[in-house]
Amino acid sequence: MIFDPGHGGADPGAVGSTTKEKDNVLALAKKIAVILEATGRFRVKFTRTTDKDFCAPIAFNVDLDLKNRVKAANSLGGDAFYSFHNNSAAAKAYGNEVYALAAGGEGEKIAKAIRARMALLGMTDRGVKYANWYVLKWTEMPAVLIEHGFINSEEATILEKMDQAALAIAQGIGDHFEVSVSGNTQKKRGYEMKEAVLAHGIEDYLVPARRESIKLGNCAVFLRFDDKTPPPDVFKAEHLVIVGGGPVGHPNETILSGKTWGDTAAVVSATGA
């Protein structure tokens, strides 16, 4: 499944008195992913795991952001797409709502399952709604968009109930796919490696990748020959360092990459011995 925390980079999304939407939804999405992956039945990939700007180095504009965001999601591949947001309104408004593209599809079924769980949070239940939004229309898999609270009206509630909301959303997803989700994340994943390094499969990137591997105790180095599908074995590592490429959806990944091979080598060197 694909998780898309809304906004990022130059686009903060809606802004509260102490927090920004882009930061809140990234934290929420990561919490949900931890809960789901602890079941051993789900693998979550992210369009962003950091404060990523989907327009950089070009100045931010909404159309380009949405186009690149959907392109990233479609390149990752997945059985469903989840976009996370905080709402905002000119007048005081409260509650959670879940959007699907239209009634009658798989997206609506997922939205209803998530809404049913979120309705138990003690916040206003605004129900399932439908919208012809870009991320719902152009993703190549069933898609939903989740609005967790109104940041201008109930920022404190959004923050206080984030853990509860993460569990509710995860359980809604589990309900749809008939997987029991308990919220117990204490059980450690069965990682086979402590550290691993993933490099682009061209010779230039192997030098900084090997250098990083040595720093980490001569850990395994894997190669990726495009920017889409990493070798499955990288997910057997507890921590993954990516050299010369973008995120792959590993729950604990560090990216050491620049725009060129030289930039990447400099980033690797800057991490210290």
- Listing DSSP states for 81-122 in one string gives EEEEEEE--SS----EEEEESSTTSHHHHHHHHHHHHHTTSS
Position 258 pLDDT exceeds 90 = no
Question: Which of 148, 176, 204 is at the close of a domain?
Answer: 176
Residue 188 inside a domain? The answer is: no
70-114 pLDDT per residue, tens: 999 999 989 999 999 999 999 999 999 999 999 999 999 999 999
25-78 pLDDT per residue, tens: 999 999 999 999 988 889 999 999 999 999 999 999 999 999 999 999 999 989
CATH number at residue 129: 3.40.630.40
Residue 181 inside a domain? The answer is: no
Residue 85 inside a domain? The answer is: yes
Distance CA 167, CA 180 (A): 12
Question: Which of 120, 151, 176 is at the close of a domain?
Answer: 176
Residue 205 inside a domain? The answer is: yes
- In degrees and rounded to multiples of 5, residue 17 shows phi and psi of -75, -25
CATH number at residue 225: 3.40.50.12090
Residue 136 inside a domain? The answer is: yes
Distance CA 194, CA 238 (A): 5
Q: Are 152 and 89 in contact (CB under 8 A)?
A: yes
Same domain (yes/no): 155, 230: no
114-170 pLDDT per residue, tens: 999 999 999 999 999 999 999 999 999 999 999 999 999 999 999 999 999 999 999
Residue 187 inside a domain? The answer is: no
Distance CA 211, CA 206 (A): 8
Q: b/e for 149-186, b at 16 or more Cβ within 10 A?
A: bbbbbbbebbbebbeebbbbbbbbbbbbbeeebeeebe
Same domain (yes/no): 78, 104: yes
Q: Which domain holds residue 203?
A: 193-270
If one counts the domains in the chain, the total is: 2
**DSSP reduced 3-state for 19:** coil
